Amino acid sequence: MPDNNMTRRKFLATGIGVISGAIALGVGGAAITAVVAPAVTNKREDKWVEAGNADDLVQGQFNKINIAYDAKDAWMEGKIKLLAYVKPDGDNLFALSATCSHLGCNVKFDEQSGKFKCPCHTGVYDATGKNISGPPPKPLSHLEAKIEDGKLFINTGIKEA
Ligand code: FES
C-alpha cells in the first residue's frame, strides 16, 4: 500500500516546482521582452543626447554616430546604445536610425551604391531610408538632430518617415 503522505508530499513538491518554473519563465520572459523590444519595435523615449562635436561632421556625407545614454523603463535601468547616421547639408541635418526595421540589426551605409544595407538578412534601404528590397517591412526611422554650442545633439525618439 502506498504511503499517502509521501505521495501527497511528492505531488506538492512537484507542483511547487512547476509553478516556480512557470513564474521564473514569466518574469524572465518579461525581462527579455523589455530588453529586446526596443530594438525590434524601435520604440525609444524622447530624449536629446549629446553626440559629439559638430566640427567633426563631414558635410554632404552620412556620418556614423554612436550614442549611449542612460534609460529607465518600469523597473529596468540601463545603458542604451544607438547607432545613427547624420548627413549635414549646410545648416540642415538629416538623421536616420541605423536600426533595421526587420529584426533590429544595424544597417551600414554603402558609399559605392549610396544605399543602406543590412548584414543580417540582406535588407536594403535607399539614401532617404526607404526600404527597397529584402525583408524590412518599413523605412528606417528618422531622428531629430540639432547643433547647439558646437555640439551635435540627437533626439532618441522616433520620428516616422
Ligand atoms: S534584420 Fe535587417 S534584414 Fe533582417
The tens place of each residue's pLDDT in the chain, 161 residues long, gives: 445 554 555 544 444 444 443 334 343 333 333 344 444 444 567 889 999 999 999 999 999 999 998 887 778 888 889 999 999 999 899 999 999 999 999 999 999 999 999 999 999 999 999 999 999 999 999 999 999 999 999 998 876 65
The SS3 assignment for 14 reads: helix
* 26 and 105 part of one domain: no
Ligand 1 atom 1: residue of nearest CA: 103
Residue 106 CA to ligand 1 center (angstroms) comes to 8
Backbone φ and ψ for 8, nearest 5 degrees, come out as: -65, -40
Q: What's the CA-to-centroid distance between 41 and ligand 1, angstroms?
A: 13
Q: State which residues form the domain around 121.
A: 45-159
User: Do 35 and 9 share a structural domain?
Assistant: yes
3-state DSSP percent of the chain in helix, strand and coil, to 5: 25, 40, 35
My answer on whether 76 and 123 are in the same domain is: yes
Determine the pLDDT at residue 161.
57
**Is 4 found in the same domain as 58?**
no
pLDDT of residue 44: 61
Provide the domain count of the chain: 2
Is 50 in the same domain as 129? yes
| 136 and 150 co-located in one domain | yes
CA 23 to ligand 1 centroid distance, Å: 32
Alpha-carbon distance 157 to 127, whole Å? 20
pTM: 0.71
Q: Answer yes or no: do 135 and 64 share one domain.
A: yes
CATH code for position 96: 2.102.10.10
Same domain, 100 and 79: yes
49 and 123 together in one domain: yes
